[in-house]
Structure 1
Amino acid sequence: MMTSLFDQFMSPMCMGIPLIALATLLPWLLWPAPTTRWLDNRLLTLQSWFINQLTSHLLTPLKLKGHKWATILTSLMLFLMSLNMLGLMPYTFTPTTQLSVNLGLAIPLWLATVIIGLRNQPTIALGHLLPEGTPTLLIPILITIETISQLIRPLALGVRLTANLTAGHLLIQLTATATLVLLPLMPAMAVMTTMLLCLLTMLEIAVAMIQAYVFVLLLSLYLQENI
């Protein structure tokens, strides 16, 4: 029995081994592999259409140089989407509710976009830290502020994904607990909370998909600034 609502976000252990590694590898096994046949089944056709639509939306604002990141961005979005959706199933664990996991994804990818900008266009990349025509007295302050705003970007990516998923899971947990408590006391109210729980689950499914898309979309915007 859980002693705290936040126990559901703890990484499960099996014989002292954290199962978060298994949870992060499992989604790749659920996606069916494409075949070399001319005509695929309905599932593969729907999957290919879905991936093509997502990729086109991600690459639309990017220049041609950024299209090299198509595989990375699309794979990351499908990976995050799968993790978020699997976390809504009973007796499962959501790795993306861990801030360390999200920062482990956000920091290297954000740093890669910064390094690309410093390598390809160092003048423009460093010019973002100091707007043109800044008074001399404000130069140190503005450089400090812009540097902090750049360093906060990966933190904002990780915290946004963690906070949205954690809030949704907690709300579902609280509603489910209220339903079980009200069932023997007020059955009519329990039915209403059950309907609310179904609506919250549908909302959380949408949030799981949208947050994965927002995570990757912001990364693509950071990439656009540095190519």
Structure 2
Amino acid sequence: MTLATNLNLFDQFLMPKLLGVSLLIPAMLLTATLLYNPQDRWLSNPSTTLQSWLIAKTTKQIMTPVNKTGHKWSLMLMSLLTLLILNNLLGLLPYTFTPTTQLSMNLSLALPLWLATVLMGLRNKPTTSLAHLLPEGTPTPLIPILILIETISLFIRPIALAVRLTANLTAGHLLMHLISAAALNLMTMSPLLTGLTLITLTLLVLLEVAVAMIQAYVFTLLLSLYLQENV
């Protein structure tokens, strides 16, 4: 019984399929319909104005620590941020699927972008990029160990990006599932406890909305910091 319950609990993170075909890509493309397109209007409405203002402020915030050479990445990073936010929020709607709970998808986003920043650094300033592997003033006996540690920390960056995003979203969804199941079971036992549980669930949903946006921002910000080290 316990095994069946645990399997049902984690079924929400399985990739849905239709006729044997994965629905991951349609789920990702569905989020594009949530964006307002100001190009088909003569005058901006409050929604498009707010959207443009948020994008401008967020772009400035993310690209501030990056040199002018790396500003050409702003469109790519903002597109990534928008994609992650919309996909993270998609899972909070009923009868939907959250693509960003899949580690494979997050790795497919983190690995190429991280690799691009590393290759850019090796091409533009190879001496400075390699110097990051050995802090200045390191004692001679510790040089091989520190080089090994810094190399491992460099290659673990995309894995950390993907795992952080996956773990935070998965934990939040699991907690919401458990609390909603508890509220459903308490309906016939204690109306007071049911009300308190529903209030807790509502607050948790609001928290998950914030977590969805914050984790997308952190993912993009860390990539911009990796970019800053290599431009």
TM range (shorter): over 0.9
Q: Secondary structure at the match of 2:164?
A: helix
CA–CA separation in structure 1 for the residues paired with 2:58 and 2:16 = 32
> Which of 19, 26, 31 is equivalent to 1:27?
31
Deviations 1:35-61 (A, max 9, x none): 276631221111111111111111111
* Structure 2: runs of 5+ lacking an equivalent: none
* Structure 1: runs of 5+ lacking an equivalent: none
Q: Secondary structure at the match of 2:37?
A: coil
Aligned runs of 1:131-142 on 2, under 5 Å? 131-142=135-146
CA–CA separation in structure 2 for the residues paired with 1:143 and 1:211 = 30
> Which of 157, 164, 170 is equivalent to 2:168?
164
CA–CA separation in structure 2 for the residues paired with 1:18 and 1:50 = 33
CA–CA separation in structure 1 for the residues paired with 2:88 and 2:163 = 15
CA–CA separation in structure 1 for the residues paired with 2:118 and 2:42 = 41
RMSD: 1.4
Q: Who is 2:189 aligned against?
A: 185
Kindly, what percent of the aligned residue pairs are identical?
Answer: 60
Q: Who is 1:4 aligned against?
A: 8
> Which of 151, 161, 165 is equivalent to 1:147?
151
Q: Who is 1:226 aligned against?
A: 230
Q: Secondary structure at the match of 1:32?
A: coil
Q: How many residue pairs end up in the alignment?
A: 227
Worse overlay, 124-133 or 178-187: 124-133
**TM-score, scaled relative to structure 2:** 0.95
Q: Secondary structure at the match of 2:156?
A: helix
Task: Give yes or no for the alignment of 1:216 onto 2:220.
Answer: yes
Q: Who is 2:112 aligned against?
A: 108
Q: Who is 2:79 aligned against?
A: 75
Q: Who is 1:127 aligned against?
A: 131
CA–CA separation in structure 2 for the residues paired with 1:4 and 1:35 = 44
Q: Who is 1:66 aligned against?
A: 70
CA–CA separation in structure 2 for the residues paired with 1:36 and 1:166 = 37
One-letter code aligned to 2:229:
E
Q: Who is 1:96 aligned against?
A: 100
Q: Who is 1:206 aligned against?
A: 210
**TM-score, scaled relative to structure 1:** 0.96
Deviations 1:46-100 (A, max 9, x none): 1111111111111111111111001001000010000001110000000100111
1:21 Cα deviation from its structure 2 partner: 1.1
One-letter code aligned to 2:135:
P
Q: Secondary structure at the match of 2:95?
A: coil
Deviations 1:189-224 (A, max 9, x none): 011000000000000000000000000000000000
Q: Secondary structure at the match of 2:188?
A: helix
CA–CA separation in structure 1 for the residues paired with 2:34 and 2:121 = 36
CA–CA separation in structure 1 for the residues paired with 2:42 and 2:58 = 22
